[in-house]
Amino acid sequence: MSRAENKTRRLLQMEALLLSNPQGLTQAEIARRLGVDRSVIHRNLYDFQKIYPTVEQEDGRISLDRSAYLVKVAFTLHEATAVHLASRLLATRMDRQNPHAASALRKLGVALEKLAPRISAHVKQSADVMDEANQWQDPVYLQALEKLTLAWAEQRKVKIWHRSDKAGKVFEYLLYPYFIEPYAVGQTTHVIARDETLGKMRTLKIERIERVELTQDRYEIPADFDPRDLLADAWGIWYTENEPVEVALKFHRNVAQRLQETRWHRSEEETEMEDGSIVWKAKVAEPIEMIPWIRAWGADCEVLKPEKLRETMMGETKAMAEIYGWYISSAPAGKASTLDDFFGNK
């Protein structure tokens, strides 16, 4: 093998080594693991840093800059279209600018120029939509998202300052980020993390995070952690350690076809009644989270159970009727105030 081939192979080995050691390694550690003299690594490091973005730490360790490192990926036409659709959903359901999503779409558009020029043009237009001036420019949110992403990638603990109540009170947490989850209903993004102080999982809305500090302390995401299990019974983002609650809804025949066109929850069951209506059932972690969806069906959806959810919707219906000048007597007020938690405290 030629000298040039040896160096190319060693640079690839250095890349793989630093990818698997996010905390970084010293030149001596790299040399020992690759079985070469430290002087060889010292010479190769100049060429390595021209190709790969790195960070040199105060203690002499070298690590890859994961914020700037380019991930190598190749898509088929249909895979690229799937990424485009996911990005379009992000663009239409999230109100804040995300230049990283726009940049990713532009790269995808360029990659498709020869294979599918018309699709390429539309993908680039989608990137332009994400960058439009009418999108909410929120640098605090973007910085928080970037730092949480880096902490998640490198498994570094973070201190965050989160505004959690109507009075604007800010709480400080030390978290181990396990997952980042978008929430289409609220047009928000959430970090799912372990709270070091409480020793339990916590979900916080990133849009309400005012500051994030990365620490040098590491943590391990448990091998058995699976967000699919955590959110299996959730309607959206809410989960609980308690048993899920059975929700039963009755849909008018006018919307039966629309209801059946979509699978709304993994546990759902549908029973068609003689009059053409549908009784829809599912086991949901926090039924109160379903209220915006139920409300959107209007009078075509009746809550049968649980009773607490039914009372809440009765209270909302009464309040709405009064807003429009219709007055209903004896309908229970329910607990519509719990919606404050839905929109404000998660």
Q: Three-class SS of residue 106? A: helix
Give the global pTM.
Answer: 0.77
Distance CA 195, CA 157 (A): 10
Whether domain 3-64 has CATH 1.10.10.10: yes
Residue 336 has what pLDDT? 42
Residue 338 has what pLDDT? 41
Of 1.10.1740.10, 3.40.50.1820, 2.40.170.20, 2.30.30.520, the CATH number of 139-225 is 2.30.30.520
- All structural domains of the chain with their residue ranges: 3-64, 77-130, 139-225, 245-345
Distance CA 231, CA 240 (A): 9
pLDDT in tens, the chain (346 residues): 677 778 888 999 999 999 888 889 999 999 999 999 999 999 999 899 999 999 888 888 999 998 888 888 888 999 999 988 888 887 777 778 888 888 888 999 999 999 999 999 988 988 888 877 566 788 999 999 999 999 999 999 999 999 987 678 999 999 999 999 988 877 889 999 999 999 999 999 999 999 999 999 999 999 999 999 999 999 988 888 889 999 999 999 999 999 999 999 999 999 999 999 999 999 999 999 999 999 999 999 999 999 999 999 999 999 988 888 887 655 454 444 343 443 344 4
Residue 135 has what pLDDT? 66
What is the enclosing helix (H) or strand (E) of 21?
Answer: none
Q: Centre a 10 Å sphere on the Cβ of residue 258 and count the other Cβ atoms it contains.
A: 11
Distance CA 151, CA 219 (A): 10
CA dihedral 9, 12, 17, 20 (to 10 degrees): -140
Residue 333 has what pLDDT? 47
Residue 330 has what pLDDT? 53
Distance CA 150, CA 180 (A): 11
Residue 80 vs residues 47, 106, 282: alpha-carbon distances, Å: 33, 12, 34
Nearby residues of 314 by Cβ (< 8 Å), 6 or more positions away? 331, 332, 334
